[in-house]
Structure formats: structure tokens, C-alpha cells
Chain A
């Protein structure tokens, strides 16, 4: 509320409260509200140099070894969706957070919060899916925990996974590593996970299959890191989509970014679904894609290596990093004009018409 509001206007001022006294759903969106929570609550209380980097994973030195450590909670509804389920997602999500630090995943933990009344059959299916996903990644779930809460206190089941990985010598990836002149590379088509979950949740039928892209990215990353010093930052554009991932990297690195709308790969079904629902695919979640900031000289080589990998066949250079407009992401639109791609405050809201 503006400080110039007088008594009467204070009562009528329709200014919503920046400092909400309650947690809103938007605080979990990966947008500005999430960052505000980080800045105002978590960082002041828990501040340390590793946490302050705000990377997807912490990299800590342990007797000469560089270990990556990360944790993530999974609360997706529905539990099963086209292309995946909460179990495989819990393995892929944490594996990918490790991979974005260049780490080879070593092992995972899994903690389950189960709602009273959940069918054991459902839990069994989820755990089988985790087993399969972990086997594909090549990691074991080496420890875990189970809690049961009263009916109504959880939406079926929540999973938390943590992971430890080993960062190879010479690999230093962080969101602040983007430099003017670098290229922005996207590993494949966007918006699939978010739209698959939304379609399943809302019972929306689309022409053509809309499936989650949930997949483990560590082998794709390993292929990219074959070219030494080429990759400067990596992010998996999950919550908040490609737009939020780029904004985070632009802000952390103090650089501007410009992407080309026409270069961004997207499946027709996803494009159509987003058009229909009034959603911008740049903000829709992905679970099997990455955005890389790559040294210009090595871009061709890195993209070629990505295209050899099943999860990088559609890899594309989608933009460039520049010194001007630090912290701002711009996009050259399909008609050749330029606009800003901002970070959203909270979740995307469908427009009325």
C-alpha cells in the first residue's frame, strides 16, 4: 500500500498485501512469489554461501571430492498421468537437479507421506514405477522414511526424494556462469509435462496424445560435458517453465538474454492446447528438458552431441546472451518484433476470453 494513502483511502485501497500473512499457492509456483519467500524467510534464517547460490543443487567439497546434494518434494495430482506418475517423477526430478550441476547421480533417498485410507495397491504401483525409473537411471534408493497422516491431511501421497551425486573434475556449472556472447540451447520441445498433467486433472481431451516428457537427463548432460569448458550453466525448466529458468540465469549472471520464438520447438498438440486454454507455453512445466548456456565457439559441437542422444534429438539454439539489459529476457516474436519475457508473480491464470 502506498504510504500516501490517508485514513479513508487506506480502508478502500484495493492494494493486495505484498507481505501476505498466509502462504498462497503462488508461493510454490517458481515465480516471483517463490523467490520472495526464499529471500525473506529461508535465506535470512539459513544463510550460508552454498545455499545463497540458489542453484538446483548444492556442491560441497568433501575431502577432495565434489559432491552434489539436492532434495525435492513431489505433490503432483493426479498421481498417474500420461507419460509418467509421481513415482518416476520423484526419481527423475531429483536426478535432474543433480545433473544440472553436472553431477553423476550416486544414490537417492525416498520419504513418503501417506494419507490414511490410501489403497496399498496405489502405493505399490508408485513404488514399482520408482524402482523401474531408478534402475534406468542406474541409482539405488538407499534410505527412506514413511509417515502416515490423517485422512484429509495429504492428497493421497506425497514423496520427497534427496540425491547425492559426484561432480567430475573440471566441471563447474552454476546459474551465474552465463557470459555475453554465449548461446542459449534448449534440448527439445516444451510444455509437455504441464499440459499432460493439466489435461488429465481437468479431464480435457485433446487431438493427438499429450504426454509428460518426464525423463532422466544425466546421460544427456554427460554427453554435453564431453566438450570441456563449453557449457556454462544448465537448468531444467520445471515449475515456471523456460521463461522462469532463463530469468533466473539472466539475473544470477547479470546478463541480458534474447530468444527467438520461432526457434523454440513445440509439438502441435501442445501449441493447440495452450492456445485453447490461454496459457503461455514458455511458463508451462517440463520434466525432461534442459536449457544450457553454451560458449559460442563450442555451440555447434555441443548441439551435435545433444542430437546424438535420444533426449536431445530436437536440440536447438534458441537465443543469445548479451551484456545489455542485465537481468532481462527478451524474445524476438514470430512476426519479428521484440517483447519482454518476464518472470510471473505466481501461477499462470487462464484468461477469461
Chain B
């Protein structure tokens, strides 16, 4: 398939790996930020191909994984209400809340729908004026523009029965938190290609300057990730710390200004709790007051949810690149994709799920 096959070509992959092996003279710890990138690395076993001096750790960029437990519990409570049609992206269905998940709510009679686009949720609201349609607006800067568009449209149409449970996250504040941590081991970042398609490079240039750390914006195919790794290693080996763009077929320095304007028009920045990490300042987006009538949290009398992660789950350390999934004693035993202990085992983009699915328990532990 055009624009895909050439980025999955064994010859190009081998050449990049050989190039990397010539380049690297010492050990480097690199982090790919986005869950989609983690997924590709595990699916293709890219880490097996890298010179042993390069350690890849997996970042917090899986939106399903970092959505706070309290928010999942709210979603589950809403979806169980008889008057609500709860609309969500597919991989949120299996994410365990404190006591249930959306699959089980649906099995118990809840009206839970899966959509590919928030505009489909709007359609549902228009065609079912008797239902309260609640859209689960989660994700990073990638899903924010489309979700913003749906909310703006709902505002313009005065769709009284459409609201969104908003739990958007922003990537740069999470990277800042990592870089400020005394336990940080990461020396260079593969920045998230789709987030940068929307937001451009400027925020990463600020981080790079401030912390003296290199960033390379990477795509999502094997060749993209190996090329981005080679570009990062080249910077590190020559003592540079800049923002470079490997994903040029999608990302421009300024990003998508129209999308950025739309996000600003609909959302405002707020503090946000990340599952497995805790509250990160100015790391979330919430609805602006002007769209308050489409804010689920204002429309519904929702209980105050407080939830604790199971102490055994190492998600927090894995999300910060301090541990890998096979370091966790529960990995593959008490925590499996069928019975996940923490969210990293749930989503296809979650680091633990990717290890489990593509490498298996025994082999993951064997390579540790």
C-alpha cells in the first residue's frame, strides 16, 4: 500500500539499523512519548534491532491509559443512567473503573455507543432529542480539534441534549514533569508526530532549550521510528540538543493553526490528574464557560468520585520510563489484557498490553 509499504521495508530498516550501529559510541536512554509509537515498536520488535547501547523507554502518551480512574468512574455512572446515550471511542470500553467498565454497563442495559468521530455523537443527539447524549471527550491535542468542532457545532445549533465529559490532556507539561524529576533517566525524546501535526514544534523548542535535551518528532511506522532514533543519536553523539522533524510528511513547524484556534476557542487550559502519575499543573483542557450548557459535569449531578489505584500496579513507574512491564510481578499473572490491573494493560497502545500481546510474558521476562 502506497505511503505505508515503503515505511515497512526490510531493506530500508536494515540500512537504518546498520547506520545506527556505526553512529553509536556510548549508552543512551531514549523515550518515545506516544502510545501509537510504543505500539509500533512492540508490534515490529524494533527494540530488538537496535544496538544494545540504545535503551528505549516508553512514555505517557496513551490517552486511554492516563485518563484518571475518577473520570472513568464518572463515565460508567453516566452510562448507566436510563436517560443517557453514552458515546465513546472504542478502546475506552474495556478500561476498568473502580468496579466496572463500559462493556459491563452495556451488558446491564446501558446505552453505550462506539463512534469513530464526535460528529457521529452530534448526529445521535439530533436524531434522538428525547435522549441525553454524552460524548466522552478524551485524548491529547490530536483528538481535541475534532472534539472542539463537535462542541462548537452543538453550541451553534443550540443542541440542548448534547454534552461532553471532557478529560483532555496536553503532552508538553507531562514531559516537563519528567525532565524536572530527579529520577529522570531520559536523554532524548521522540516527540509525538500526530500531536505535533496539530501543535507544531514551538512548545518542544522551549523544552529543548530549557532542559538542554534533544527532541525528534517521529512518525508511526518502523522506518519513521528508526530514522527518528538515528537522528536523536546523531544529536546526542555530537552534543546537540535541538528539535528536529523526521515526520515531515505530516508535521510543519507552526502546526495546524486553524486547529489550534479551534482548541483555544472551545477549551481552556487547566490542571489535570493523570492516571498513574497524579496531578500535573496546566496539563489538561476543559470546556470554556461559554459552552457550559454542553459540559456534562455541570449538567449532571455527579457524585464526587475518589478512587485509588491498586498499590501493586507499577503503571506510574512505567509511564515515567523508570520500569518496564516485565519488572512488575503482576505482569502476565494477576494482570492480563483480559483482567487488567491497571490501564496500561487495557488499551492497545498501553505499554503493558503491547508487551503482553506482541512479545508474551515469558519472552518479555527473558529479555529483561
Contact = CB atoms under 8 A, between A and B. Distances in A.
A337 B44 contact: yes
Contacts of B339: 15-16, 18
In this complex, the interface size class of chain A, counting residues with CB under 8 Å from chain B, is: 35 or more
Interface stretch (A117-125, A268-276, A305-313): A268-276
B354 to A, nearest CB: 10
B22 interface: no
27 contacts: A2-B310, A2-B341, A11-B98, A14-B340, A15-B339, A16-B96, A16-B101, A16-B340, A17-B104, A18-B339, A22-B107, A26-B103, A33-B338, A204-B116, A271-B1, A333-B43, A335-B9, A337-B49, A338-B45, A339-B44, A339-B358, A340-B359, A340-B363, A349-B114, A350-B89, A350-B90, A352-B90
B126 interface: no
Interface string A269-294: 00110010110000000000000000
Contact of A2 (B100, B103, B116, B312): B312
B64 interface: yes
Contact of B310 (A14, A333, A349): A14
Given A335-B10, A340-B359, 17 more contacts: A14-B69, A14-B97, A15-B340, A24-B104, A24-B106, A275-B1, A275-B4, A334-B44, A335-B9, A336-B10, A337-B44, A342-B360, A345-B337, A349-B348, A351-B39, A352-B139, A352-B143
B288 to A, nearest CB: 23
A25 B107 contact: yes
Nearest to A31: B338
Chain A contact residues: over half helix, strand or loop, or mixed?
loop
Interface centre among B48, B93, B114 (most CB of A within 10 A): B93
A202 interface: yes
Contacts of B58: none
A11 to B, nearest CB: 7
A350 B341 contact: no
Interface in B46-78: 46, 48-49, 63-64, 69, 72
Given A11-B98, A12-B307, A14-B309, A334 B10 contact: yes
Contacts of A15: 96, 310, 339-341
Contacts of B307: 12, 14
Contacts of B98: 11-14
Nearest to A274: B1
Given A14-B341, A333-B43, A352-B138, A20 B104 contact: yes
Contact of A352 (B9, B45, B89, B100): B89
B65 to A, nearest CB: 10
Interface in B129-169: 138-140, 142-143
Contact of B308 (A12, A17, A20, A342): A12
Contacts of B310: 2, 5, 9, 12-15
B1 A272 contact: yes
Interface string B80-94: 000000000111111
Contact of B330 (A2, A32, A204, A275): A2
Contacts of A9: 308, 310-311
A70 B46 CA distance: 44
Contacts of B43: 333, 339
Given A14-B310, A334-B8, A339-B359, A352 B1 contact: no
B293 interface: no
B325 interface: no
Contacts of A202: 116
Contact of B45 (A5, A13, A339): A339
B22 to A, nearest CB: 19
A277 B357 CA distance: 19
A345 B338 contact: yes
B128 interface: no
A340 B308 contact: no
Contacts of B254: none
Nearest to B42: A339
Contacts of A349: 90-91, 93-94, 114, 348
A173 B222 CA distance: 40
For the complex of A and B, the 6 pairs showing the least CB-CB separation, nearest first, are A337-B45, A350-B90, A12-B308, A14-B96, A349-B90, A345-B338
Interface centre among A14, A272, A336, A349 (most CB of B within 10 A): A14
Contacts of A26: 103
A2 B311 CA distance: 11
A346 B336 CA distance: 13
Given A16-B340, A334-B8, A352 B359 contact: no
Given A15-B341, A339-B43, A350 B91 contact: yes
A33 B120 CA distance: 29
A4 interface: yes
Contacts of B309: 12, 14
A18 B338 contact: yes
B116 A350 contact: yes
Contacts of A272: 1
A62 interface: no
Given A18-B338, A351-B347, A351-B348, A337 B48 contact: yes
Contacts of A20: 104, 107
A210 interface: no
A13 B96 CA distance: 9
B45 A333 contact: yes
Nearest to B307: A12
Interface in B302-357: 307-312, 330, 334, 337-343, 347-349, 356-357
Nearest to A278: B348
B115 to A, nearest CB: 9
A221 interface: no
A340 B107 contact: no
Contact of A277 (B5, B69, B116, B138): B116
A23 interface: yes
Interface string A196-223: 0000001010000000000000000000
Given A25-B103, A351-B348, A4 B312 contact: yes
